């Protein structure tokens, strides 16, 4: 839903607001002080405005009917960001069959990143377009400290095997549900018959393709039996008075666990870059995509745009790859193949060139650029 509130601004200006919100609102709407508004946009202002305009309570996307000179534009921009994150806090985003991610709290935004950067680079222009340019510069050149000024705390429910990968990112503050202190969550991830993946032939820790649904029926049935039997044994142990710390030891890794996870934006983006990558395990990739596309994109939209352009959607080229691209661009494909053979990337077996893993990765980069690998032409 898109709510155009250009015509509502005068009514909102006339709304009785308690001090100091009234003063902050007045400054923001007349002087373009969007940052000041966001700093002082307290719960009483939000409550008063949402009571006057019920549409705002449904997480509407706010668009101005017309952009005024500074004041209306600044107010609407700040209001959109504040209301956007408020609508996310406490809302659970479902992942897998019984998992979720939920925003508990957050601190900072795109404006906080810009503000922190300008402490280093000095006061500059403060137009939104130039804020965007600064954020893109920071992302492009990997000036990461300003992004550390933003933090977010998430409540997550995920499977134990997925959590093992998640917790490898040691740059967060974590508190996990304790199955030593409390009873284990009575839920485990179940695999649909058509979702049993096959082992990758090229990547020892990856998968490719899947079993047919007919073949998968057997394994999904066996999985259901394992989940039921292990839970029954666990419950019997607890009923017999066996300590929770010992009773839990045979629970499957598909059992769900929950945790609070607090991390700064810089390290969160690193997590997303690794876990949204196509070769990441499917299950944790679902969580990363939910966090990225449904949370970070609304929390820090300018940073998210830069992240997609310069990190997630970008690719790196080694010195060798740049040299090979130069040869290909010059139409010297034969020399490129010879260089790859010298580097050990290609092994000739008769009339066939067998590429190494590094060569196959280079071929994937060439295909993204609309080029064919030289040994295939």
Pairing of strands 151-159, 99-107: antiparallel
Q: Of the candidates 363, 375, 365, 374, which has an alpha carbon nearest to the alpha carbon of residue 331?
A: 374
Instruction: State both tokens at 141.
Output: 């050149």
Which residues are bridge partners to 207 per DSSP?
Answer: 199
Q: What are the residue ranges of helices labelled H in 89-183?
A: 110-121, 128-140, 160-166
**Token digits for 256?**
């769900």
DSSP symbol at 376: G
Task: Identify whether the C-beta of residue 263 lies closer than 8 Å to the C-beta of residue 271.
Answer: yes
What are the residues whose beta carbons fall under 8 Å from the beta carbon of 41, sequence distance 6 or more? 21, 24, 78, 79, 82
HEC assignment per residue over 252-303: CCCEEEEEEEEEEHHHHHHHHHHHCCCCCCHHHHHHHHHHHHHHHHHHCHHH
Q: Enter the tokens of residue 297.
A: 């994109």
Identify each DSSP E strand in the chain by its residue range.
Answer: 2-4, 61-63, 92-95, 99-107, 151-159, 173-176, 197-199, 207-210, 256-264, 346-349, 352-355
Burial class of residue 345, CB neighbours in 10 A (0-12, 13-18, 19+)? buried
Residues marked as catalytic: 275
User: d(Cα 65, Cα 6) in Å, to the nearest integer?
Assistant: 4
């Amino acid at each position: 839903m898109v709510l155009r509130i250009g015509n509502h601004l005068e009514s909102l200006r006339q709304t009785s607001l308690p001090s100091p919100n009234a003063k902050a609102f007045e400054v923001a709407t007349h002087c373009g002080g969007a940052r000041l508004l966001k700093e002082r946009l307290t719960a009483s202002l939000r409550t008063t405005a949402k009571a006057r305009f019920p549409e705002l309570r449904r997480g509407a996307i706010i668009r101005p009917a017309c952009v005024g000179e500074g004041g209306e534009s600044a107010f609407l921009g700040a209001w959109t960001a504040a209301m956007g994150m408020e609508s996310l806090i406490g809302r659970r985003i479902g992942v897998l069959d019984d998992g979720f991610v939920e925003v508990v709290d957050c601190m900072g935004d795109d404006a906080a990143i810009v503000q922190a950067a300008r402490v280093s680079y000095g006061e500059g222009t403060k137009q939104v377009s130039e804020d965007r340019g600064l954020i893109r510069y920071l992302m492009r050149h990997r000036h990461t400290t300003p992004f550390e000024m933003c933090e977010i705390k998430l409540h997550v429910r995920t499977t134990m095997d997925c959590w093992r990968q998640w917790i490898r990112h040691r740059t967060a503050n974590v508190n996990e549900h304790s199955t030593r202190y409390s009873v284990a969550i009575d839920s485990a991830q179940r695999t649909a018959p058509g979702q049993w993946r096959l082992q990758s032939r090229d990547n020892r820790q990856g998968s490719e393709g899947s079993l047919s649904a007919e073949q998968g029926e057997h394994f999904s049935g066996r999985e259901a039996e394992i989940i039921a039997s292990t839970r029954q044994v666990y419950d019997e142990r607890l009923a017999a008075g066996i300590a929770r710390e010992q009773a839990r030891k045979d629970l499957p890794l598909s059992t769900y666990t929950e945790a609070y996870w607090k991390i700064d934006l810089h390290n969160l983006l690193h997590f997303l870059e690794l876990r949204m990558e196509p070769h990441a395990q499917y299950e944790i990739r679902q969580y990363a995509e939910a966090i990225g596309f449904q949370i970070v994109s609304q929390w820090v939209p300018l940073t998210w745009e830069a992240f997609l352009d310069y990190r997630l959607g970008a690719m790196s080229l080694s010195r060798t790859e740049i040299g090979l691209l130069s040869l290909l661009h010059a139409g010297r494909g034969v020399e490129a193949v010879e260089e790859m053979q010298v580097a050990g990337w290609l092994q000739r077996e008769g009339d066939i060139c067998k590429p190494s893993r590094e060569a196959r990765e280079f071929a994937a980069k060439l295909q993204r650029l609309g080029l064919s690998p030289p040994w295939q032409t």
